[in-house]
A and B are shown apart, each in its own frame.
Chain A
Amino acid sequence: MADKRLLYMTAQRLQAFTWMAGNLAGDASFDAGEPGVAEFARYLAGSPGSLYYIVADVTEEDFFQENIPYVRGKDRRSLLGRKLAQRYRDTSLAMTISLGVQEGGRREERMLFSSFTNTQQFQPWLATLRSSEARLVGVFSLALIAPLVAKRLNIALERFVLVSVQEGGMRQSYVENGMIRFSRLGRADPSDPRATAEGCAAESNRILQYLTNLRILPRETVPLDVVALVPEAQRAVYEASWGDNPRLNLKLMDLEPACRTAGLKSAPPAMLGERLFLHVLAMSQPAKQFASDTLRRFYNLWRVRVALLAGGAAVCAFSLLLAGLRTVELGQLNDVVRSNAQKEARVTQEYDRVQATFPKTPLPRESLKVAVGMGGAILRQTRTPDRFLVDITQALAAVPQVELDKLDWSISDNASTRVGADAAKSGASPAPSKAAPPPNAAAPSGGAVSLFEVVEIDAHINGLSGNDYRAINLMVQQFVAALRQRPGLEVISTRTPYDAITEKPIAGEVGEENRAGVPRINVRLSRRIGS
């Protein structure tokens, strides 16, 4: 944090103090005039990072109250600007304070306008501050600080005049409802307590009269409190000088205890009442001050810089805090992961221990499992045509005219597939039997593959002519019927000479006999393995 430099300015000179943790230390004093200003520039160059507060204690400070229409925003700003321009020739060190909204026939806002009327005495100091790029926090007056001092000293009065004696003179500030209303600086000689005390009594009467005449203070009111900050040793002098005034009520506060109450730990011994005001300003600056943004440019830049860095640091800190929380969580997760890994290792160890007692296998266990499954499947579909040959022999015995020429046997997972290379070469596609649909070749539900023994028979019929279709069909039907009597045996298709004449154009001579040769037939059979 930048250190605070308080610049107490009077008409004669400017004194610089450094404030740190309730301790006020005098740095230097610069007389008005070129040598003092040059020395001040050197002083500023020595501490470029400090924050500077100008506290002006000069007589040329004006206060003026007026009601303005209740407006807000840009209109209010331009109205106040106009009012200040009407009232003051130079508004470079002017400001306004809202004293509250007055509800009546017309809603109005009570405003206090204040300005230093002789800004020339400020210019050398302000120009030096600007050229040195010093961070000027603001230009304050003792009047502006007075309500804060009262608050620090726990003065809970609705209306009072705060009287204090500084190097610049005797300052009287009228405070109402915690806000400054009027202030004036009178002459005072701190080396002559009696004259100062008498001046306090006389000036208090004058200020009462002034406030009453301007109707700032109501005529019919309780006696006005005058709180005077005085050295403890001068209490008796002040009380004696006060006299009897029914409209003023003097309350003396010892300066030293008041400084301690406000938290001021140390200050240069030669300082008067200004030390309390400077300390209070360093502790808590008022919301309003006199300097424009132009004068405060480098202070504002510093504020933005600090805000940027503080923002970045805040984001960084917040993110790192979250990251820290995440890291803690991460540590807990890693503990769980390690614990799980250890448990898994123990379980695996136990499993391996038990597994070591397993019988030895000729293959890796998974391979053995697969081999057993595959071997079982191979064994299930290992068949010989014995049973089929017996069945066909029985059927041929029932129809002796049918004589076998060729038999193709195979194992297939599709009963419709033609059997053998010779059958494929013949190019004749088998016509499905009208009587028996082919067995479902798809795998039955449950995943097991259906397998079939499939037989294709080529045979001829003795004793019949090739164009005696009716007799041939009858013979084939008898043969098929004989086959179907065999358990589990399915006739997939038959093919006779009659099928041939239904598929292509034919020509012949009616009545011609025995020219068509020996009738040949083809029968396809299947049996589900396991039936």
Chain B
Amino acid sequence: MMLARSDLKRLRLPFAAALLLAGIGVSGLMYAERQAVEAQRAKKTGEERLAAATARLAKVAEEEQEISNNLVQFRRFSEKGMTGGEKRLEWIEALAAIRQQRRLFEVHYNLGRQRPVDYPGTKSAEAIFMASRLRLEMLLLHEEDLLKVLADLNTSSQFFSALRDCSIRRAEGGASAGGPVRPRLMADCGVDIITLKAPDKPS
């Protein structure tokens, strides 16, 4: 069977119709395939979610125990004064009280702005603990005065302090014998006053 070139023109319409029909079929198939793939994906996701929910339910007792343990720890932090907001006025008053109680010569302080705690091993996506760096410059008679001041800061229930660095050196002219009592040591210490960031939504 031979077809002339002029015959091909007569076949344009049926050829287009055949293409259209085939296109409709293939499009339908592709659409169904895509839907099936999406359904498979949804099924897989659903199965994973179900497995996760089931596993979570199976560990609910463990989770409750963990929360209880965390609460015990959290209460410990509260007792140490780590929780609660920033109370700068109380801190300054506490410093003044320590100075008066320990009869220190001079105490200069410089309280920096609050920043997230960034100690080694405390990296977290959300900043929960905040630190305000307190620089203390003190003239002391003896190194024991320094230890007492640090102990007083540690035992204060109003706030929690973490000593990060301390530099002690001889005060100039402090070593002279006789005469009025003069400071013999100078101490420059960095102390972080740590507070817990206010919770967004307790549960």
A residues lining the B interface (CB < 8 Å): 293, 297, 300-301, 303-305, 308-309, 311-313, 315-320, 322-324, 326-327, 329-330, 333-334, 336-337, 340-341, 343-344, 347-348, 350-351, 354-355, 357-365, 367-386, 389, 404-411, 413, 419-422, 448-449, 451, 458
Min C-beta distance of A326 to chain B, whole Å: 4
A419 to B50, CA, bound (A): 54
Chain A residues contacting B150 (CB-CB under 8 Å) are: 384, 386
Query: B162 an interface residue at 8 Å Cβ cutoff?
Result: yes
Besides A319-B26, A373-B124, A378-B122, 18 more A-B contacts (Cβ < 8 Å) are A305-B11, A319-B28, A320-B25, A320-B29, A329-B36, A333-B36, A341-B46, A351-B53, A362-B74, A362-B202, A368-B74, A369-B66, A381-B121, A405-B170, A406-B167, A410-B166, A411-B164, A420-B165
Contact A323:B29 (CB < 8 A) given known A377-B119, A410-B164: yes
Q: Give chain B interface residues in 95-140, CB to chain A under 8 Å.
A: 117, 119-122, 124, 126, 128-129
What is the CA–CA distance of A255 and B36 in the complex, to the nearest angstrom? 62
A-B contact pairs, 25 of them (CB 8 A): A305-B10, A308-B17, A312-B17, A312-B21, A316-B24, A318-B25, A319-B22, A330-B32, A333-B40, A337-B42, A340-B49, A347-B50, A347-B56, A354-B60, A362-B74, A362-B199, A362-B202, A365-B67, A368-B67, A375-B73, A382-B163, A384-B151, A386-B147, A407-B168, A420-B165
Among A313, A334, A364, the residue within 8 A (CB) of B39 is A334
Known interface pairs A312-B18, A376-B73; A409-B166 also in contact (CB < 8 Å):
yes
Q: Are A327 and B199 in contact (CB under 8 A)?
A: no
Chain A interface SS verdict (over half): helix
Q: Please, how many angstroms separate the alpha-carbon atoms of A404 and B170 in the complex? A: 8
| Secondary structure dominating the interface of B | helix
Contact string, B68-82, partner A, CB cutoff 8 A, digits 1/0?
111101100100101
A330 & B36 in contact (Cβ 8 Å cutoff): yes
User: A419, B165: Cβ atoms under 8 Å?
Assistant: yes
Category for how many chain B residues contact A: 35 or more
Q: Which chain B positions have C-beta within 8 A of A448?
A: 121
List the A side residues contacting B68 at CB < 8 Å. 359
Q: Is the CB of B202 within 8 A of A407?
A: no
A466 smallest CB distance to B (angstroms): 19
| Selected contact of A381 from candidates B35, B50, B120, CB within 8 Å | B120
Q: Is the CB of B20 closer than 8 A to any CB of chain A?
A: yes
> Which residues on the A side are within 8 Å of B56 (C-beta)?
347, 351
Please determine whether B1 and A315 come into contact, CB atoms closer than 8 angstroms.
Answer: no
Please tell me if the beta carbons of B170 and A406 are within 8 angstroms of each other in the complex.
Answer: yes
B90 within 8 Å of A (CB atoms): no
Instruction: Determine the chain A residues whose CB is within 8 A of the CB of B39 once the complex forms.
Output: 330, 333-334, 337
